[in-house]
A and B are shown apart, each in its own frame.
Chain A
Amino acid sequence: MITITVNGQRHDIEADPNMPLLWVIRDILGLTGTKFGCGAAQCGACTVHLNGEAVRSCVTKINRAAGQNIVTIEGLSANNNHPLQLAWNEMSVPQCGYCQSGQLMSAAVLLRENPNPTDQDIDDAMSGNICRCGTYQRVRAAIHKAAAMQTEGVKS
C-alpha cells in the first residue's frame, strides 16, 4: 500500500511499486488529463508536479511519490483560471490539445520560478515538451501573456 496525495486528496494505492505514476494517475485514479506520449521521458505529455517539480510521470515510479504531493492538470487551478490557462484560452493555443496538459504543467513551474521569463528562459524551460501540431509560437506568446497577467494581478 502506497499513499500519495493528488490534487490535495489522499489516495491509498495498491499497485506494483514499480508502476509509473502516469498509469497510477490514469488507470487507477481515472484522472486522464495527464497523457501518455512516449513512455521514455522524451515528450513531456505526462508532466505532473511532484512537490512542485515538473516530473515526467511515465518514468517516475509510484515508489518515488510515496507520501508526496502530486498536482496534475486537473489540479492546476480550481476554475480553469490559472493565468496560463486564461492566456491559453485567449490565444487559442491548443490544436489537437493532447500535449497541452504537459505544456501547461511545465510552463507553470517556469512562471512560478521566473515571473517574467525571456524567450531564452522559455526555450530552456519548454523544450522538453513536444507538440506535433507545432503550437510552440503560441505557447511562447501565451507564457508572456500569462506573465503579464500575473504581474498585473499582483499589482492590483
Chain B
Amino acid sequence: METNALSRRNFLRVSGIAGSALCLGFYFPANAKKGELITVNTADLSGFEFNAWIRIDANGKVTLTDHRAEMGQGSFQSVPQIIAEELEVDLKDINVVFAQGDPVKYGSQITGGSSTIRGSYKKLLKLSATAREMLITAAANKWNVPASECYAGSGYVIHKPSGKKLHYGELVADASKLTPPKEVKLKDASAYKLIRKPLQRMDTPMKTNGEAIFGLDKKLPGMVYAVVERSPRLRGKVKSFDGSAALKVPGVKQVFKIQMMVFNTTRDGVVVIANSTWAAMQGRKALHVEWDESGFEHVNTADIYKAHEDLLKTKEGLSFKKQGDPDGILNKADKKIDVIYQTPYQAHAAMEPLNCIAHYQPDKIEIWGPIQAPDWVQGDITSKFKMPKGKVIVNMTFLGGGFGRKAFLDYTHEAVAISKEIGAPVQVVWTREDDIKQGPYRAGISYRGQGSVENGEISALKFKMAGQNIDHWNGPSRDKANNSTAEGFLKPYYDSIKNLSFADVPYEMPLPNMWWRSVYASTNGFAYESFMNEMAVLAGKDQLDFRRQYLKDERCQALISKMEEVSGWKSRKKNEGFGVAITECFETTVGQVVKVSRNAAGKVKIDKVWAVMDCGWYVNPDIITAQIEGSVVMALGAATIHEITFKDGLVEQHNFYDYLMPRMSDMPLVEVHIMENPADAGGVGEPGLPPFAPALTDAIYDLTGNRIRKLPFNMNAI
C-alpha cells in the first residue's frame, strides 16, 4: 500500500538520491515524522518545476502540489486527479504535497466557498497539458521526429510509429529549456481516464493507521505546550490573575497575560506554558483570574430573537432586490400567508479542536497548523508582527475538519504572540470547551415571509431577513443590504415570479460571528424553501410540481424530474411523509427529497434522503457523494439537536454532552445522484447542506400537518 512519498521506503530512497546530488522534488527535514506531509520550499530544490503545481525530477518522480487545505472535502485527491489527467501520469506514481501559503505562486488558497475545484480547475487543466506538451516536444526533438507522431501516457512519451519511448525523467532537462506553448488542446470529457471516475482517495491509507499528521500531531524540537484561559464573557478584560498555584503544577513553566484582536474587539486571556498538554491543562485549572466586565453586554438568546421579530414586523429594511409591486399586491390579496422562521447560532465544532504551532524568531516566523487559508494567515502575521515580506512561512497540515472556523485568523495570531513572548516554539491547544464557547459562530437569523396566491398562482412574494452580517466586522457599510440576502434562493424564480422582494433589516450585535458550512444558504435555504412549500400548500399544488412550474430553466427541470424519479415521488404511500427543497449554493444546485414515517413507538423517524446535485463539471463522483452524505449529517444536527445559546452573555454549551452531535444510530440512508451536463464546475463541499432542513420539515408537515418554522426542533417531541 503505497502512500505517495510518505512511507519510510520513500524517505530512504529520496535521501539516497539527494546523496548522489540528483534533483528531487521534496525533502524531509530532520525532525519530520513518518507519514508527515511536508510542504515544499522550492527555493531549496533542484529539479524542474514546470509550474507551482508540477515538479518532475530526473528519475521521473512526479510531485504534484495541493494548494488548498485538505479538511475532508478531498482536495488532496481531486487536485492531483485533475493534474494527472492532462499530464498523463498515473496517480500511483506521484507524490502529493501541500503548498505553503504563497498567494503569488498559487493565487487564492482560501479553502472556503466550495472553491477548490471551481476556482482553479481550468487553470490546472491547462498548466498540466502545457507540461505534457513540453515533454512531448522535448522527446520529438531528441528523436528528430514530428511532435504530432508522439503522445504521452503513464509518465512516458511514446513515438507512435516506432514504439520508442522515453520516461518523463529523461526529458526533464530538455523540456525545462523549452518555452511553454501559448495554446494547448485540452481533452474532451469523453476521453477522461481519471476525471469523473470514483477513484479511491489517496489520503485514506494514512488516515487508517495513524500516519496522517494533523495540526495537533505536529511536534517541533524544543516545543512547549500552551493552553489559554480566555474571557468567558465577550470583551471581558483580565483585572488580575494569580498564577502561583498553577506554577506549582509539575510541568508548568510560565503563566502570563495575553491580549488578542478578534475582529475589531479584543480578547483577553491568561496563558499557561508547560511541557505537556496535560500539565498545561492542569495548570490552567489552578489559575485564579478576576475578570473586569464593565461595559460588557449581557446577551440573552431570547432577547436576540425578540429583537429580530420586532425588526421584521416594524421595519422595511434595506432593499436587496425588488421587482414588480409585491407590497401593493399583498395589501389587496385575500389568500396570503405571513410567517416568521428562526434559525439558531451554531458552533463549527470540528473534531480537531483549534490548535496552532508558532515559532517566532527575530528574522522569521514559522507556523504549522490546521489552516484553511494559509495565504491569509501569511498576510495577517506579516502585517501584525511587521515582518519583511517572505519571512512568514505558513505550513499546512491535514485539518481535522474546518467548516469555516479554521479560515479565521485569531488562533494563528494568538500562537505567534505567545511564541514571541516565550521565545520558543509553542503549540497552543484549545480544549473542546474553548472551541465551543469562544465562537465566532454562525449567526442565528430570523426571516419573515409574506406571500399571496391568486388563481392557484403566486401573485407576490416578500422576504426579509434580520440577523448579524459577517461583512460588518471588516468594512461596516450599514447603508447596504447584506450581499447574501437572497443566497440559496434559486435564480430562475426571478424569471417566473413577477412581484418579489428581498430586504435585509440590519441588526447589530457584538457577538463574534462568521461563516459556517454553506454560509447564509444554510439559514436562508431553510426559510425560503420552507416558504415555497407553504406557498405550494396555499396554492393547492404538489411541492415538486409547484417548483417545476416556477423553475423553468432546463437544468432545474431536469433536476426536478430526477428527484421525482429516484425518490418514487409519485408512488408515495399514505403513512409516509415526503418533503422537498431545492437550493443554490456556490453555483451548484441541490435538490433533496426526505421521507419520514412513525416508528413502532410513534416517534417520527427519517427513513431516507435522496439528494440530486447539479454541479456541472466535476472530478470525483465518490467524493461528491461523500460530501453530500456528510452535509446531510451536519444539517441534521443543526436542525434537530444542537444550537449555541447565550444567557447573561455566557455561552450555555460546553462540550458534546450539551452540544450534541448526530451519531451512527441517527444516520438516515442517503442516496446521491449527480446530474451530467457540460456546464462549468460549481461547488461541492457545501451545497448539499442547505436543502436538508426545509425538506425534512416539509416531510414532517406532510406526515403530521405540523409546520416547523423554528430550528432546532426536537424530533422526539413531534
Contacts and interface: CB of A to CB of B under 8 A. Distances in A.
Contacts of B400: 35, 96-99
B1 interface: yes
Interface stretch (B212-220, B287-295, B302-310, B472-480): B212-220
Interface stretch (B134-142, B153-161, B444-452, B659-667): B659-667
Interface of A: 16, 19-20, 23, 26-28, 30-40, 42-43, 45, 72-74, 76-77, 79-81, 84-85, 88-90, 92-101, 104, 122-124, 126-140
Contacts of B657: 40, 42
A38 to B, nearest CB: 4
B278 A27 contact: yes
B645 interface: no
Contacts of A40: 432, 655-657
Contact of A92 (B204, B211, B431, B633): B204
A98 B200 contact: no
12 contacts: A19-B278, A27-B276, A27-B277, A32-B33, A35-B400, A37-B353, A95-B73, A95-B627, A95-B630, A97-B207, A123-B665, A130-B351
B250 interface: yes
Contacts of B626: 92, 95, 135, 138
A122 B664 contact: yes
Contacts of B369: none
A39 B432 contact: yes
Given A16-B250, A130-B656, A137-B667, A31 B210 contact: yes
B629 A137 contact: yes
B514 to A, nearest CB: 17
A111 to B, nearest CB: 14
B327 interface: no
B520 interface: no
B579 interface: no
Contact of A30 (B214, B219, B353, B667): B219
A84 to B, nearest CB: 8
Contacts of B201: 92, 94
Nearest to A23: B278
B328 to A, nearest CB: 45
Given A122-B664, A134-B629, A96 B200 contact: no
Contact of A94 (B203, B277, B403, B429): B203
- Helix, strand, loop or mixed for chain A's interface? loop
Given A89-B208, A134-B667, 15 more contacts: A27-B278, A32-B213, A37-B432, A38-B656, A80-B205, A85-B208, A92-B623, A95-B72, A95-B73, A96-B401, A129-B663, A133-B401, A133-B630, A140-B664, A140-B667
Contacts of B20: none
A76 B209 contact: yes
Contact of B353 (A36, A74, A123): A36
A42 B656 contact: yes
Given A26-B277, A38-B655, A94 B353 contact: no
B250 A35 contact: no
B663 A130 contact: yes
Contacts of B209: 33, 73-74, 76-77, 80, 85
B208 A35 contact: no
B208 A80 contact: yes
B692 to A, nearest CB: 11
Given A76-B209, A97-B212, A133-B401, A23 B351 contact: no
Q: Which 4 pairs from chain A and chain B are nearest by CB?
A: A33-B210, A134-B633, A98-B400, A97-B207
B276 A127 contact: no
Contacts of B214: 32, 35, 97-98
A104 B400 CA distance: 16
B387 interface: no
Contact of A89 (B200, B281, B667): B200
Nearest to A22: B278
B350 A96 contact: yes
Interface string B376-397: 0000000000000000000000
A101 B211 CA distance: 10
B352 A96 contact: yes
Contacts of B501: none
B623 A131 contact: no
B398 interface: yes
B268 to A, nearest CB: 23
B79 interface: no
B629 A132 contact: no
Contacts of B633: 131, 133-134, 136
Contact of B204 (A28, A38, A93): A93
Given A32-B216, A33-B211, A74-B210, A131 B351 contact: yes
Nearest to A81: B1
A41 to B, nearest CB: 9
Contacts of B281: 39
